[in-house]
Amino acid sequence: MVLVVAPTNSPVPNMSSYQSEYNADEQAAIDKEFTRLANNKSIYLDHAGTTLYAESQVTAAAEQLQRDVICNPHTCRVTGDYVDQVRFKVLEFFNTKEDEYHVIFTANATAALSLVAENFDFGRQGNFHYCQENHTSVLGMRERVQARAMYMLKEEEITGMGSVPSAANGANGANGSPPGDNSLVTFSAQCNFSGYKIPLAAIAGIQKQGLAHGLGKRVSGEAAQTTDKNNYYVCLDAASFVATNPLDLQRYRPDYVCISFYKIFGYPTGVGALLVSRRGAEAFRKKRNFFGGGTINYAYPHAMDHQLREVFHQRYEDGTLPFLSIVGLLEGFRTLERLVPKGSDVATMERISRHVHGLAQYLEKQLRQLKYPNGQPLIELYNRVGYEDRHRQGGIVAFNVRTDAGPFVGFGEIACVAALQGILLRTGCFCNIGACQRYLGLDETMMDAIYKRAGRICGDYYDLIDGQPTGAVRVSFGYMTRRQDVEELLKMLHLSYLATKPQQRLQLIEEQAGQLPKALKERAQRLRPQLLQLAIYPVKSCAAFKIEEGGGGAGAGGTWPLTAQGLQYDREWMIVDMNGMAVTQKRCSELCLIRPLIRDDQLVLHFGDSPAGVSLPLSLADQAENSSRCRSKVCRQPVEGLDCGDEVALWLSQHLGLEGLRLLRQSSQRSTSNGVRQQQKLSLVNQAQFLLVNRSSVRSLQFEESLDETVDRFRANIIIDTGSAFEELSYKQLTIGQVQFQVEGPCQRCDMICINQRTGERSPETLTTISRLQSGKMRFGIYISRISTANSKEQQHLTCGDVVVVN
């Protein structure tokens, strides 16, 4: 279902800069193979995940299975001949031959990487090097390699090796290393996050010169020696690259090449390959830690004696091969050659490379032109070198969407919008956390915040933390991607974000959420802002008692009750001096160090980090039994209260250094008139029952302290995050969970926000920053009051995670 209706004046993307790789007959033949996309009203843009199979391809594969007797190759020679044909075709596809490379069939590229990790012989001094922007499966190699040390390399540290002439390739042992001391460098030919291509000339440079001492970040093992004389080998993760690009193993000679065939053909799945050069084969261990059926000449059951087969690839293909899938690859090769025939001087994969790059280049240019009426770009692109050079950039475009005010839109929302319009794309980190870290600028602290503290996992839709995206949106192209597919994506982005207001878009997604897959349906229910945190201030001007989701003790589960005055126990006590006047942080900033704790039926006060404290009964009736009545004022209004006794008075005076302090508890309600609306019952607050602060607004201040510290300065009861700074200043009414609120107006700030609520230190620039952002005004946060309804006569609660709806 279409999310929004296109206005009659919606712009049509200008395709004049796009030149099709295919002629009309070729395009028609390709379109005929993928009619199921139109039948299912789908736009497929995740070819980096897997490309799509042609309909005639699977028809021909099925006909072969019905026609031929294909069985276990140990039994049927015909099957063995088919498998040998596929090995030959794989070598031909990569422009090499059997006296240069072995073909070992695996389950996929991941299994090929695992095979290298298990069998590469590092010797005593060998190191394992990998690129930061590697697929997760490369990181998994670290668990199996037996290297002296492991190093993470930046992409530019690998690219720098590309200046070594290719004639130097294959210099095994040229560094004078003792036999068996080998180092392994693993990197991706094409980043599956951004589509950036590392120049393959780096392969020869690494093999000839190795890596400079001190290159990369050591992540485990012993420090490298000052002189590294190891032989260097290269393992190329080519799964993403070979799907849409030619790999010429005559020109570039990595020692190991890992591929998955479904990336190239779409069908069959469950089969990949490890290509091992003759040089690479010499660096494999002579003895395996495991052998399976078909890999040995014999194995004694009565003794630890066995003999591996002589043919190299047979030693590593454990058990019966997935022979039906392997045979199915033949039709995959034929289909590509038939649908994208080679030209006079351009091979099939070269043409596919030009096709997907042309689409990506066009899309990137069009995305840069998408802007809001205020000039704010809609798209944040993630790319290393641009899209001008096909040899450095493939058919992948990674990006995030921004609001008209600048903050990011969560990629989960984009996934929902796309799914509702039948556009299949990918979001997240795409099993490449290192690329996410690099392109999104995530430092190690932020990585821990995302994965260890927030509990995000690969593949989920936990897309924003404090406004920082944890992943991106990726679109990627295959040989069957059409110009119209790019147009539909651009149309979706324009109509859903440039031509639709956020509240309307969210409402439409919620109304159609039932049509989404389960994971996206759950994300659609969390698109609107949520109540992140509740904070009550039992003692006026003292520290907060915070209620958070998952917290224990009082407020367990992040829920807190409401009373006629606001949040239960909020500003119910206040400290007064010997004249009965309220003491605030303006006079005594150390008040913020008095930390309240509500536990069972007691209010316990601590000073700073001291475990010792003083306790008071929460029950007003218990308090009244042994308390004298007294009076004070809040905002010039008289307040009647109960004196809480000498013990707490002495404790306060000792810790705050002021004589004659007393603690007063409110014993009767105050009310305030708000014009045409009903009177509101108030605790010892200044103006309204609740103060709401938007973390996005706080984030815009960019103070040199943690965001949580800055949020604490504003002493709010209700904390949300809308993604847009100062959006809350335009609110009139809102609903949080089942509770309705009226906005009383913005909070006019004083110099109390200059006090760091964790240390008591003052930083006067706080007010200056707010004044600058608000054009001289001192507004920050909004006062809200609960609207009385039939439900409000019953006990109501606010719960962290409640959805915030602006009415």
Q: How many CB atoms lie within 10 A of CB 602?
A: 13
CB 461 within 8 Å of CB 523: yes
- Tokens representing 211? 């890596």
User: What is the sign of the dihedral through the CA atoms of 679, 682, 687 and 691?
Assistant: negative
Amino acid residing at 434 = G
**In the structure encoding, which two tokens stand for residue 421, read together?**
């319009």
Say if residues 411 and 427 touch (Cβ distance below 8 Å). yes
CA separation (Å) from 805 to 504, 530, 740? Answer: 12, 9, 9
User: How far is 360 from 474, CA to CA, in rounded Å?
Assistant: 11
Sheet architecture: strand order including 637-643: 573-576, 662-666, 637-643, 629-634
Query: For residues 51-81, b (16+ Cβ closer than 10 Å) or e, as one string?
Result: bbbbebbbebbeebeeeeebeebeeeeebee
Would you mind telling me the total number of residues written for the chain in this entry?
807
754 carries an active-site annotation = no
Task: Please pick, among 131, 191, 431, 800, the residue that the annotation labels catalytic.
Answer: 431
Distance CA 430, CA 423 (A): 17
Residue type, 114: S
Extract the tokens encoding 740. 């309705």
Q: What 8-state DSSP symbol labels residue 327?
A: H
Amino acid (1-letter code) at residue 698 = V
Tell which residue, 117, 146, 383, 157, has the closest CA to residue 258: 117
Q: Quote the Cα angle for 620-625-631, to 5°.
A: 70
Contact by Cβ (8 Å): 722, 405: no
Of 265, 209, 254, 243, give the one whose Cα is nearest residue 86.
265
d(CA 668, CA 624): 12
**In contact, 447 and 401? CB cutoff 8 Å:** no
Give the separation between CA 112 and CA 104, rounded to whole angstroms.
8
Dihedral angle, C-alpha 709, 713, 719, 720, nearest 10 °: -70
> β-strands 690-694, 718-720: how paired?
parallel
Q: Which two tokens stand for residue 95?
A: 């422009």
The closest of 697, 723, 747, 689 to 804, measured between CA atoms, is: 723
Q: Which residues of 338-362 are buried (b: 16+ CB within 10 A; e: fewer)?
A: ebbeeeeeebbbbbbbbbbbbbbbb
Return all residues near 272 (Cβ < 8 A) that are at least 6 apart.
Answer: 105, 106, 107, 108, 109, 110, 111, 112, 239, 258, 259, 260, 261
Coil, helix or strand at residue 731:
coil
Q: List active site positions.
A: 431
